[in-house]
């Protein structure tokens, strides 16, 4: 599947950034976040929304024009990270935009969307890279022979968490659809909303667990199988489990078993869950608040008695309640932020200390409206990630009809053990895409 044509442009804001906004200071949470590019991929079929049908050249023109307009409001995204890593020089140098044309049908790709194949739709070498020294946002639009397209986004974690990425794509799509930015609510940058503590920079950021001998797999949990997992948890005495709680802890339980089977020992295991802080504050931060404003809740499993699914979900609920009491309940954004800053260095030490425990991370984008991102040619038919390079990670996305897609990355030997786990295969399917999806491609 070789591209017929590949073009690269630099898209700059449609109007210059005012002089008083030329320096965008990063918050301590931004500094804590690694300078790695977080990927997301949206596939759009040719739904024939245009009459007469707009050709690919016109679609490309609209996407680039609207991106330029959106960057006027997201002006730090078009800047460059300072040498000391504590600010962004908002110099309007722009974002890298790749346009690729391939001689392939979209339906062929989505028959089995394995992570390695999906890497072809990103700018080469950018996802999870920490050595890409150009723009803080890198985009690629791939046009298929059938008229469908794939929109790949890569955001430096220094400027965006999942909520920010969602806001940016949504705003870019809205401007493309209406060809105007007048009615779009643009971002409020968190570093300007909350008061920053008078502390020196962190120095070193949190490091993701990377590795060359890791492999990624995509598993789909249908809504009916999630209901079965919920029933098991309720029967064990834990009320009202959510789908994210049961899926994340179920996977945690199984990857611990896989690790134990390969190592012959059972070290303590820590599951670190990233939590969007915006909605839980008093008052809540607006959804369009841009920057990093997520924090971590965790559960520890030390022995076999703590690895039962019901016990794990119960521990997660208890941990989230304690998390809410400490960081969210009745706190203003500045009070919440101040509490987090007090323990940043302590948490970084724990999360980088994987020589005495197995540390697994889980991020959930369930509930974010990525499946509603309409650039004017209909909603995406599917949303996915890439072959994730950070080890021991679980990423969750909404699946069709209330299901959950789990993207799991482990060392190859641990993944081999997980793939043979009968309990996993009883509740999840590998790389399944419903036939009904292809009927619209």
Q: For 67, what's the count of Cα atoms within 13 Å in the CB-facing half-sphere?
A: 26
pLDDT at 438 over 70: no
How long, in residues, is the chain?
441
- pLDDT level of residue 15 (50, 70, 90 thresholds): very high
Report the alpha-carbon distance of residue 251 to residue 174 in Å, rounded.
Answer: 36
pLDDT of residue 133: 75
- Residues 6 or more apart whose Cβ sits within 8 Å of residue 208: 34, 36, 128, 361, 390, 393
Q: Higher confidence at residue 95 or residue 118?
A: 95
Q: Is the dihedral of CA 193, 198, 200, 205 positive or negative?
A: negative
- pLDDT level of residue 303 (50, 70, 90 thresholds): low
Decide if 153 contacts 139 (C-beta within 8 A).
yes
CATH of 3-193, one of 3.40.1160.10, 3.90.1200.10, 3.30.70.2190, 3.30.559.10: 3.30.559.10
pLDDT at 296 over 90: no
pLDDT 10s digits, 129-177:
877 777 999 999 999 988 899 999 999 999 999 999 999 999 999 999 9
3-state DSSP call for residue 420?
A: coil
CATH number corresponding to 214-438: 3.30.559.10
Q: Where in the chain is the domain with CATH 3.30.559.10?
A: 3-193, 214-438
Cβ atoms within 10 Å, residue 253: 22
Average pLDDT over residues 395-424: 93
Beta bridge partners of 39: 154
Look up the pTM and report it: 0.90
Strands 23-25 and 87-89: antiparallel
Phi-psi region of 179 (alpha: psi -120 to 50; beta: other; left: phi over 0): left
Beta bridge partners of 429: 220
pLDDT at 387 over 90: no
- pLDDT level of residue 199 (50, 70, 90 thresholds): low
- Distances in Å between the Cα of 236 and the Cα atoms of 228, 229, 242, 257, 314 are 13, 11, 15, 20, 9
Strands 188-189 and 289-290: parallel
Helix/strand number for the chain, H first, E second: 14, 18
Average pLDDT over residues 189-216: 67
pLDDT 10s digits, 17-65:
999 999 999 888 888 888 889 999 999 998 765 544 568 889 999 999 9
pLDDT at 391 over 80: yes
Report the alpha-carbon distance of residue 439 to residue 435 in Å, rounded.
Answer: 7
């Amino acid at each position: 599947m070789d591209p017929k044509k590949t073009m690269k442009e630099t898209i700059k804001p449609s109007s210059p950034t005012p002089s008083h906004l030329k320096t965008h200071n990063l918050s301590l949470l931004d500094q804590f976040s690694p300078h790695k590019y977080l990927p997301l991929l949206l596939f759009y079929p040719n739904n024939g929304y245009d009459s007469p049908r707009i050709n690919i050249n016109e679609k490309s023109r609209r996407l680039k024009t609207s991106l330029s307009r959106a960057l006027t409001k997201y002006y730090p995204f078009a800047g460059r990270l300072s040498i000391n890593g504590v600010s962004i020089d908002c110099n309007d140098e722009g974002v890298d935009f790749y346009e690729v044309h391939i001689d392939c049908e979209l339906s062929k790709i989505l028959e089995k969307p394995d992570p390695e194949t999906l890497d072809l739709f990103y700018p080469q070498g950018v996802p999870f890279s920490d050595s890409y020294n150009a723009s803080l946002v890198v985009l690629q639009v791939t046009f298929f022979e059938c008229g469908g397209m794939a929109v790949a986004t890569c955001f430096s974690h220094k400027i965006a968490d999942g909520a920010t990425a969602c806001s940016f794509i949504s705003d870019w799509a809205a401007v493309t659809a209406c060809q105007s930015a007048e009615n779009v609510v643009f971002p409020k940058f968190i570093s300007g909303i909350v008061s920053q503590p008078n502390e020196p920079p962190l120095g070193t950021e949190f490091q993701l667990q990377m590795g060359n001998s890791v492999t990624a797999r995509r598993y789909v949990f249908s809504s009916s199988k999630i209901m079965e997992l919920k029933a098991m948890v309720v029967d064990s005495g834990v009320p009202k489990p959510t789908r994210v709680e049961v899926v994340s802890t179920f996977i945690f339980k199984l990857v611990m078993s896989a690790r134990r089977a390969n190592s012959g020992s059972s070290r303590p295991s820590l599951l670190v869950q990233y939590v969007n802080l915006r909605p839980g504050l008093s008052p809540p931060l607006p959804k369009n608040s841009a920057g990093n404003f997520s924090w971590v809740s965790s559960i520890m499993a030390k022995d076999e008695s703590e690895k039962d699914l019901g016990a794990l979900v119960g521990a997660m609920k208890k941990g989230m309640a304690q998390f809410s009491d400490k960081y969210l309940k009745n706190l203003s954004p500045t009070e919440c932020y101040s509490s987090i800053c007090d323990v940043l260095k302590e948490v970084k030490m724990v999360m980088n200390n994987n020589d005495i425990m197995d540390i697994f991370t889980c991020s959930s984008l369930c509930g974010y409206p990525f499946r509603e991102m309409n650039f004017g040619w209909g909603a995406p038919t599917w949303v996915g990630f890439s072959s994730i390079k950070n080890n021991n990670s679980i990423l969750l996305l909404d699946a069709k009809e209330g299901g959950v897609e789990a993207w799991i990355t482990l060392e190859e030997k641990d993944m081999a053990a997980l793939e043979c786990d009968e309990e996993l295969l009883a509740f999840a399917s590998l790389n399944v895409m419903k036939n009904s999806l292809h009927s619209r491609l």
